[in-house]
Structure 1
Amino acid sequence: MHTEDKPLLAVDFCGMNFASPIVLLSGCVGFGEEYTRVQGFSNREVGAVCLKGTTLEPRLGNAPHRVYETPQGMLNAIGLQNPGARYVVDKILPTLDFGETRFIANISGSTVEEYAEVARIFDDSPIDAIEINISCPNVKAGGVAFGNDPAMSAKVVEVVRKATNKPLITKLSPNQTDIAGNARGCIEAGTDAFAVINTLMGMAIDIESRTPILGNNQGGLSGPAIKPVALLRTHQVYQVCRDHGIPIIGQGGITTAEDALEFIIAGATAVGIGTALFYDPLVCGKINAGIAAYLKRHGLSEVAQLTGTLSLNTSAPRNNCCGVK
């Protein structure tokens, strides 16, 4: 069984030791410091914290409304409100306790050049790794999201790879035709890991005014409603990653230990918790306990033994897109 120097829940992620497979997702815990004020929560419960999405220059974000609750989920259109990369590195990072957990920067940009510059700023900082948010629109390409175009996704990874030696995690969008093909291109461009998935695009409408509820008209859908999509995308990306030793943070609708275990079995090395924190700030301890109990019950000594152990139904048709014919 596990030993004191190899705790049951510890995972290796791109050479970083995570105390548990749980990663707090970008945008859900600010820049990390505000979440530590929740009574009963400890950063030692999580393997890593992804900081709020950061751009080169400060951003005020979108007009309200920015958040709207949906059945089994939440729409958000914050608009990357943040104080800018230089402020984060100079003023916020020094306030974080890097002895408690790992901290991951989440970077965004409107051009390839901006991604590279933000990466260079974080490269000269104590941040443990960099997550690339490629769901942003490319202003030089008429607003097409980087993450929905495999060539643009790979280009962003390529320039960021040249700008930093820190581990790179590419956050993949589900709003694309071939997520596995996109992942393959990002691996060739130099990514070290993936976060799968980002939010799905959605909308909510006020029927009385006949206008969108969100000030940005549309937003990202998260929460339990997207879990089946996220699970499938995680497994599809795992098929590409497993032969390259590329780890995955599986995320999208995880609220229980059972949810987390599904993602690990589908191919995730770690799991991201986001929307669940809004209604249960202490959910991480419960998920850790559930994962540990499962491992002990099945005679497993570490989480890594469970990653990618999904056994598919070999009799299932390969090209049945609907699953009902």
Structure 2
Amino acid sequence: MTSLICNLAGVALRNPIIMASGTFGFGREYGELYDLSILGGIASKGLTLHPRSGNTGCRVQETPSGMMNSVGLENPGVASFLENELDQLVASNTAVIANLGGANLEEYVNGAAQISEACDLRQRQGQQAVDLLELNISCPNVKEGGIQFGVDTEVARQIVREVRQVTSIPLMVKLSPNAQDIVAMAHMCEQEGADAVSLVNTFSAMKIDIYQRRSAFQNSYAGLSGPAIKPIALRMVHQVSHAVSIPVVGMGGISSVEDIVEYIMAGAEAVQIGTYNFVNLHAGEELVAGLTAWMEKEKVQSLDEIRGIV
């Protein structure tokens, strides 16, 4: 029998295919297209303690082999998510991952505490809650001139350490490819009690409007994702997965079953699908079916047989 089951920080996934934060909303719209229970999991739209309206001006630009975005973490806030979105996500019958960002340390800690308290209450009432908390440390630190928390290992350490202290939910830290040393960053996360790491977030990039004589984005730079970044992201996943003992979730440019298999062979426990959801609205169900067919054809009974073999 072919089995796609994965174990992500103690959370059993039906398969390794997770929908990435910011590309799947809260699953509501995609749930009208196919049965979300076939997925390994869904990472929520990036949440912050308080609601955010996001950036103004141009938010998305298509690029060769990818896209750039400067959405600015538009979201309804943690409280609204817990009240209005979590029940629907839980009803999808797949692993629920809450992605959390913040503009300062206090927002990270308070947001994580709110999610944790709400989930503790749900569990006491016999209800399913958030399965994993994905900490997005690629957010700009507004108190330090807008530098990303996830660039400097010691700056990020304080966030991981303090969030770990306020939640018992399995903690996964989402790493920025712009980190000074992504392997050192992953080591730090493991040292501070993270149960897993996911990588990579988008690459810092730029687009210039040659007719307006300025950047196409109001914040000058935007995040690059899609197939263009896959070879670099794959290299980083390979480096990190061979350097830490906690599970690694790989992402970056996945748009085929072959891409998924590459990430697994590089050492990833699971993967996240992002930009491809915009290209193919049925990406999730097609990739699950395709991965099953590939394993049967290659006579691979479990992903453990190929995980980290490169």
TM exceeds 0.5? yes
Give SS of 1:96's match. helix
Which residue is equivalent to 2:46?
53
Give SS of 2:243's match. helix
Which residue is equivalent to 1:44?
37
Runs of 4+ with deviation above 6 angstroms:
none
Please say if 1:181 is aligned against 2:205.
Answer: no
1:292, distance to aligned residue in structure 2 (A) = 2.0
Which residue is equivalent to 2:306?
306
Which residue is equivalent to 1:268?
268
Identify which of 74, 88, 95 aligns with 1:81: 74
Please say if 1:108 is aligned against 2:101.
Answer: yes
What is the 5 A alignment of 1:117-266?
A: 117-123=110-116, 124-125=118-119, 126-241=129-244, 244=245, 246-266=246-266
1:96, distance to aligned residue in structure 2 (A) = 2.7
Identify which of 29, 34, 40 aligns with 2:29: 34
Aligned length: 300
C-alpha distance after superposition, 1:239-264 (max 9, x if no partner)? 212xx2x1111100000000110000
- Tell me, in whole angstroms, the C-alpha distance in 2 between the residues paired with 1:69 and 1:142: 29
- Tell me, in whole angstroms, the C-alpha distance in 2 between the residues paired with 1:220 and 1:53: 14
1:133, distance to aligned residue in structure 2 (A) = 0.3
- Tell me, in whole angstroms, the C-alpha distance in 2 between the residues paired with 1:284 and 1:87: 26
Which residue is equivalent to 1:288?
288
C-alpha distance after superposition, 1:57-106 (max 9, x if no partner)? 11100012100000000000100111111111112112333461011101
Which residue is equivalent to 1:70?
63
- 1:9–1:288 contact (8 Å) kept in structure 2: no
C-alpha distance after superposition, 1:192-220 (max 9, x if no partner)? 10111000011111111111112322110
What RMSD, in angstroms, separates the aligned Cα atoms of the two structures? 1.3
- Tell me, in whole angstroms, the C-alpha distance in 2 between the residues paired with 1:96 and 1:277: 18
- Tell me, in whole angstroms, the C-alpha distance in 2 between the residues paired with 1:99 and 1:228: 32
Identify which of 2, 5, 9 aligns with 1:14: 9
C-alpha distance after superposition, 1:237-288 (max 9, x if no partner)? 11212xx2x1111100000000110000001010110101101111223322
- 1:226–1:252 contact (8 Å) kept in structure 2: yes
- Tell me, in whole angstroms, the C-alpha distance in 2 between the residues paired with 1:255 and 1:69: 16
Deviates more, 1:275-284 or 1:227-236: 275-284
Give SS of 1:53's match. coil
- Tell me, in whole angstroms, the C-alpha distance in 2 between the residues paired with 1:282 and 1:99: 16
Give SS of 1:69's match. strand
Given residue 281 of structure 1, which amino acid in structure 2 is its aligned partner?
L
- Tell me, in whole angstroms, the C-alpha distance in 2 between the residues paired with 1:269 and 1:97: 22
Give SS of 1:147's match. coil
- 2:225–2:252 contact (8 Å) kept in structure 1: yes
- Tell me, in whole angstroms, the C-alpha distance in 2 between the residues paired with 1:151 and 1:287: 38
1:300, distance to aligned residue in structure 2 (A) = 2.4
- 2:189–2:197 contact (8 Å) kept in structure 1: no
Q: Where in structure 1 are there 5+ consecutive unaligned residues? A: 3-7, 311-325
| Identical columns (%) | 41
